[in-house]
């Protein structure tokens, strides 16, 4: 796995919207915060375009992202938001230039689609906050500060509270994953993740419990859970139930899907659709400890 060059002052970042539409007032304060760090920020021509629920037509979104992928001076691509739409533009993108000139891809939620493509290209990428989450209560957010540290080569060691339903143990391996619904949408495609020997990270938002069970069963039946090194579970926010209750919690659904395996399972990692969305480098090697307290640390030889 290739780790792109970390950022330094004066480097160019391009902001693009490969999926859902976004209002300028939502993200411009965060973009200005990037500029205050001494970075050159170029905003894609169609970042604030609107085409129904999308940030412009498929081809407009392709144009912005392709320019960012191809520009040799761009060192990082930060997505303005997720939503839905990244999967619609994959067939039109050409990734040949970025394989020769690697750069960071940053985002979460729908941007899991692009993280999965980067993984297939053997390029690391960053699952982390997007500009609308860079400022909290008028100050740079913890999510932003940690993202900036990660982009400049100082990834954080995360220590977090043990969850009562954790399955304790220690794991080492390449960290892969992202939003569970998006990983599920890539099943059977050329961008389907290979998980054997890896630490799988999952998170999601606004899903019905039965649908979460369906997706976990897909991972189980496809063999993606059998040979994991470990399972890291982020936030599952705003989950929904039917009028007739499903009968299991998020944790119970996940533990049922991995019941026959003995790798560590660590709940409550602070990442996903929450304000405290801590960045991780997908494709990098990590160690994961689930015990009386939990720890996730990037391995520099990863």
The yes-or-no answer on residue 50 being catalytic is no
Alpha helices for the chain (secondary structure H)? 24-36, 58-70, 86-89, 96-100, 112-120, 142-151, 180-185, 209-221, 250-257
Residue 273 designated active-site? yes
SS3 120: helix
Which residues lie closer than 8 Å to 249 by C-beta, 6 or more apart?
A: 209
Please count the helices (runs of H) and the strands (runs of E) in the chain.
Answer: 9, 15
Give the Cβ contact number of residue 260 at 10 Å.
8
Query: Measuring CA to CA, which residue among 35, 13, 9 is closest to residue 153?
Result: 9
Q: How far apart are CA 180 and CA 65, in angstroms?
A: 23
The single residue of 46, 115, 127, 273 carrying the catalytic annotation is 273
Q: Which entry of 17, 86, 109, 143 is annotated as an active-site residue?
A: 109
Residue of 203, 207, 235, 287 with catalytic role: 203
- For 293, phi then psi, to 5°, come to -135, 165
The yes-or-no answer on residue 203 being catalytic is: yes
Which DSSP category does 131 fall into?
Answer: G
**How many other CB atoms are found less than 10 A from the CB of residue 157?**
9
Contact of 66 with 93, CB cutoff 8 Å: yes
Measured distance CA(171)–CA(60) in Å, rounded? 42
Strands in 180-272 per DSSP E:
199-205, 230-237, 265-266
Report, as residue numbers or ranges, the catalytic residues: 109, 203, 273
């Amino acid at each position: 796995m290739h780790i792109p060059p970390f950022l330094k002052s004066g480097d160019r970042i391009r902001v693009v919207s490969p999926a859902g539409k976004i209002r300028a007032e939502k993200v411009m304060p965060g973009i200005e915060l990037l500029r205050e760090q001494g970075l050159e920020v170029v905003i894609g021509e169609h970042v604030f375009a609107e085409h129904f629920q999308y940030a412009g037509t498929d081809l407009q979104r392709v144009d912005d992202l392709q320019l960012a992928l191809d520009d040799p001076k761009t060192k990082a691509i930060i997505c303005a938001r997720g939503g839905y739409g990244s999967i619609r533009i994959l067939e039109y993108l050409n990734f040949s230039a970025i394989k020769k000139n690697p750069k960071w891809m940053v985002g979460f939620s729908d941007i899991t689609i692009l993280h999965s493509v980067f993984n297939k290209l053997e390029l690391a990428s960053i699952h982390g906050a997007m500009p609308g989450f860079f400022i909290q209560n008028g100050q740079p957010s913890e999510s932003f500060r940690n993202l900036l540290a990660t982009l400049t080569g100082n990834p954080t060691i995360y220590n977090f509270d043990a969850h009562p339903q954790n399955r304790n143990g220690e794991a080492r391996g390449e960290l892969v994953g992202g939003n569970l619904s998006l990983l599920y949408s890539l099943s059977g495609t050329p961008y389907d993740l290979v998980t054997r020997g890896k630490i799988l990270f999952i998170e999601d938002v606004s899903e019905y419990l039965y649908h979460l069970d369906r997706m976990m069963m897909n991972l189980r039946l496809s063999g993606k859970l059998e040979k994991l090194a470990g399972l890291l579970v982020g936030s599952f926010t705003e989950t929904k139930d039917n009028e007739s209750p499903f009968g299991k919690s998020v944790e119970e659904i996940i533990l049922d899907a991995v019941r026959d395996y003995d790798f560590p399972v660590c709940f409550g990692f602070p990442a996903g659709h929450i304000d405290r969305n801590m960045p991780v480098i997908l494709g990098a090697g990590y160690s994961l400890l689930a015990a009386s307290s939990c720890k996730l640390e990037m391995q520099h030889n990863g």
